[in-house]
Amino acid sequence: MTQSALADDTSLETIRAWLERTCAIHYPPGKRALLQQRLGRVQQSLGMRTLNEMANALHCPDSREVQLAIMHAASTNHTYFFRETDVLDQFRKDFLPTLATRPEIRLWSAACSTGDEVYTLAILIAEALGPEALRRTHILGTDISAPVIERAEAGIYPRDRLEQMPADLVQRYLRPVGLNRFRVTDDIRTACTFRRMNLKKSPYPFQHMFQAVFCRNVLYYFTPSDQAEVVNAIADVTERGGWMFTSVTENLRELSPRWQYISNGISRKTDKLT
Ligand SMILES: C[S@@+](CC[C@H](N)C(=O)[O-])C[C@H]1O[C@@H](n2cnc3c(N)ncnc32)[C@H](O)[C@@H]1O
């Protein structure tokens, strides 16, 4: 191995370890090439000559820009409206009726990417409980990546992100804003708020408990110990008997006694402590 290849390898390992330590995003050995490719793009956009320069910049006092760029590049942001309809059907049939008389509805989408999931939940609430329910609804969407949070706030999506959404709902809750682009209506958007937030940093800074938390398609990027830390920290900000929705492939059963398995992708908070 040449000197520069060796330096690149060491720098890649420095950045990989930093990502896992600070963001919980775990790149196993089989995905190092993917990480290298993603970091190559960051290196280019920041005008850095080597990976070593980037690894060093991570630890400088003014490293924020580099850190944010790496966090964004290292995360997989794939998402779309009405993803995994089986879980959403249960949310609609079993969970939403429990909110009918609650004065305030508080939900959190804990890794929301560009917001598609957040707006999907608001649309399901408007459909199930009536549009006036949106006035007492607060859905928070958070993500570690700053660019996806900006896009979530804008609420504008290309047509292919709406393919799984029933056509009549697209008509009701999205307006065309140019060629094949659609914007979520204002009444849906006012029920939704977005913030950048890192799930690795707990305890989470919320004063009021959530009735349900969506943490879908993100846990499988974390190691089992980070998964356990995250789902326990989510339990701390979820009300007693509250619900957690994950992807059907992400199972909390082995992770924490604080969550009781209900069905694939759905758990409820128990009274047990860790
Ligand atoms: C595949 S998307 C999932 C989006 C949506 N929940 C869904 O199921 O369609 C995963 C998201 O998790 C975010 N993410 C990764 N690590 C995170 C962390 N430590 N804190 C917050 N968000 C994180 C990524 O930026 C990405 O947008």
Query: 150 with 141: CB under 8 angstroms?
Result: no
Query: 190 with 93: CB under 8 angstroms?
Result: no
Give CA 270 to chain center in angstroms.
23
DSSP letter for 201, please: S
- Write the CB contacts of 177 (distance below 8 Å, at least 6 apart in sequence): 156, 183
Domains of the chain (ranges; CATH) run 3-74 (1.10.155), 85-269 (3.40.50.150)
Q: How sure is the predictor about 98, in pLDDT bands with cuts at 50, 70 and 90?
A: very high
Can you tell me the distance from the alpha carbon of 22 to that of 14, in angstroms, rounded to the nearest whole number? 12
> C-alpha dihedral over 205, 27, 194, 106, to 10 degrees?
-60
Query: 200 with 219: CB under 8 angstroms?
Result: no
Q: Is 25 in the pocket of ligand 1 (CB under 6 A)?
A: yes
Q: How sure is the predictor about 274, in pLDDT bands with cuts at 50, 70 and 90?
A: low
- In which region does residue 126 sit, left (phi positive, over 0), alpha (psi from -120 to 50) or beta (all else)? alpha
Distance (angstroms) between ligand 1 centre and the Cα of 7 equals 30
Distance (angstroms) between ligand 1 centre and the Cα of 167 equals 27
Can you tell me the distance from the alpha carbon of 247 to that of 84, in angstroms, rounded to the nearest whole number? 7
Distance (angstroms) between ligand 1 centre and the Cα of 144 equals 7
Give per-residue pLDDT as tens, 38-92.
999 999 999 999 999 999 999 888 899 999 999 999 999 999 999 999 999 999 9
- Give the atom of ligand 1 at the shortest distance from the alpha carbon of 214: 6
Q: Is 113 in the pocket of ligand 1 (CB under 6 A)?
A: yes
Give per-residue pLDDT as tens, 161-214.
999 999 999 999 999 998 999 999 999 999 999 999 999 999 999 999 999 999
Looking at every residue in the chain, the average pLDDT score rounds to: 95
Can you tell me the distance from the alpha carbon of 212 to that of 109, in angstroms, rounded to the nearest whole number? 9
Q: Is 151 in the pocket of ligand 1 (CB under 6 A)?
A: no
Query: 195 with 144: CB under 8 angstroms?
Result: no
pTM (two decimals): 0.95
Can you tell me the distance from the alpha carbon of 64 to that of 35, in angstroms, rounded to the nearest whole number? 20
Dihedral over Cα of 179, 139, 245, 151: its sign:
positive
DSSP letter for 95, please: I
Query: 83 with 164: CB under 8 angstroms?
Result: yes
